[in-house]
Amino acid sequence: MLWKLFTSSMLAGAVSAYRSTSSSSLAISPPTLDVVMDPSKDVTPVRCVVVGGGYTGSKLAYMLDSMFNVTFIDEKNYFELTNDIIPIIANPWSELNEEACRRLLVLHRYYLKQANVLTGTVHGVDENTVTLRDGRTVPYDLLFITVGERKPYPFATKQRTVSGRVQELKNFNEFIGTCKKVAVLGGGPVGVSLAVDLARNRKDLKVHLYHSKPELLPALPTTSQRYALETVEKCDNITVNLCSRVTDVTGYDALGRRVNETSTSMLSSLLKPLTGWLTWGTSPDEPSTFTVRYEKMHFAPRPRQSIVNQAYFGTRQPQLTSNTVESIGEEEGYDYVFSTIGDVPRPIVSGKGCTNILSEHEMPDGHYRVSTLMQLYCRPNIWAVGRCNNIPRVRGYGLSDVEARTVFRALNSVAHNPTERFMHSRDGLDLRRLNIPRMLVRLGSDDAVGSTPWSGAMVGLAAVHEFMQDRNFLVKEFQKPIFYKRQDAAKVKQRISNWAAHEITDIVDFSHC
């Protein structure tokens, strides 16, 4: 037995000696410094720049955050859903208002995990970079223009922080509490909702609603229009002025001298935050009362459809034309004028010495000319998404959400398909499906009207439930974000580069222009 023990020990020693001299190891050897510092091993991610921090821009930045190296440029550092400001303005200020503001104003950093957020104003765009007003330049491979439309105060702000915006809304709310008579220009979704909220929550306030069409909410079906008009007329302190096209707004100071006079296209220059409201002092150069001048229009019905026209296009609602001015009037003594006319685009304006390649894609009205894939012509790596483009459908959160998801779906298919070389027209917007808008309008705290493509016109309690579901759908990803795993930068870079080398914009996709 001793010889067996001796033999096994000798064999074990020989094996151990052989293993010690062998250079192979089952353990993973750590990388050397030369391998780590080798520049050829680095992969530059796809650089994606999103300009504009409204709903569309924030949504795109959130969805593309895990796919690309995103740089998000906005004039403020927080996200704000414009329509949520209406009840904060209309209800007298309390602790609940301030708490609601803190919930509604979401920092961009809260829902963006890896994106680089820059606060600034874009003053130029060239082939490869975006230039800010302060001189900073941001290179890009993919560029998304989501600048939206121009909104007047208090729906737009120059406050770049949440605390400044909350204080601004508080001061304006207290100022509205001192008003006795206000005017709301525009009978669209924001104007109608604002007028009803002000009238119901401030019984002593007289509200005058001006609208240039013979019906409120012209984008909605007839059933919703009638219900909205009946709801507005039930409020005793609302005066509805239909077929009234506002031509001028004049401001007067405390001494009765005219401060400024402006047409409807320049209302934003007058209806801006006045420093006197923010400091609770009345400056002699600031208007204290306003006068609204308007034209009373006569609407005549257009000729009826022929039988052949109805057979091809279906029965359409009879439209009215307004080419005759019946009378001219004016109303004095307004303490404030809300301009909610809407649909005023604000394209990027080049600064001094800056190049702007986007100006050649602007239409006469200021919108960007895009395809059904929201791409600019001959520039497939630049998109104009949201209210700033010329898609001929009702602009609202519903359409903006569809556009953002369409762009993300197209890019996601390219990033996950190694053989994908083109974005197909069939993957773009189907304008026929967008004939009925997805739009819900809040009328006070317990009433609403609207329409959706899947339900048609909605009024009353059903519209309230749909409004709450739609709003929760719009903000849930900002208030409770879900962060996804970072995708392989090398694969995404290779596939996006392959797509960019072959992608073209088809002129057929611009047939709606």
pLDDT single digits (tens) 150-207? 888 888 888 889 989 999 999 999 999 999 999 999 999 999 999 999 999 999 999 9
Query: Residues 6 or more apart from 502 whose CB is under 8 A from it?
Result: 421, 422
According to DSSP, the β-strands at 375-376 and 379-384 are antiparallel
For the chain, what is the mean pLDDT? 83
Under the banding of pLDDT at 50, 70 and 90, the label for residue 320 is low
* pLDDT tens for each residue of 382-425: 999 999 999 998 888 999 999 999 999 999 999 888 776 677 77
pLDDT score recorded for residue 30: 63
Beta bridge partners of 458: 450
What DSSP element (H or E) covers 470? helix 460-479
Under the banding of pLDDT at 50, 70 and 90, the label for residue 268 is very low
What's the rounded mean pLDDT across residues 269-297? 63
Return d(Cα 479, Cα 337) in angstroms, integer.
Answer: 33
Cβ proximity of 144 and 408 under 8 Å? no
Domains and CATH numbers, the chain: 43-161+344-394+397-428+483-513 (3.50.50.60), 179-342 (3.50.50.60)
Tokens 């849930």 map to which residue? 476
What DSSP element (H or E) covers 181? strand 181-185
Of the candidate ranges 33-47, 267-281, 349-363, the one whose mean pLDDT is the lowest? 267-281
Buried b (16+ CB within 10 A) or exposed e, 337-347: bbbbbbebbbb
What's the rounded mean pLDDT across residues 24-53? 69
pLDDT of 4 strictly over 90:
no
* pLDDT tens for each residue of 54-82: 999 999 999 999 999 999 999 999 999 88
Percentage of the residues of the chain whose pLDDT score is greater than 90: 45
* pLDDT tens for each residue of 336-373: 999 988 778 889 988 888 899 999 999 999 999 999 99
- What is the DSSP secondary structure assignment for residue 41, as one 8-state letter? G
User: Closest Cα to residue 240, out of 232, 228, 248?
Assistant: 232
- What is the DSSP secondary structure assignment for residue 370, as one 8-state letter? B
488 or 24, greater pLDDT: 488
Cβ proximity of 57 and 70 under 8 Å? no
pLDDT score recorded for residue 278: 42
pLDDT of 29 strictly over 60:
yes
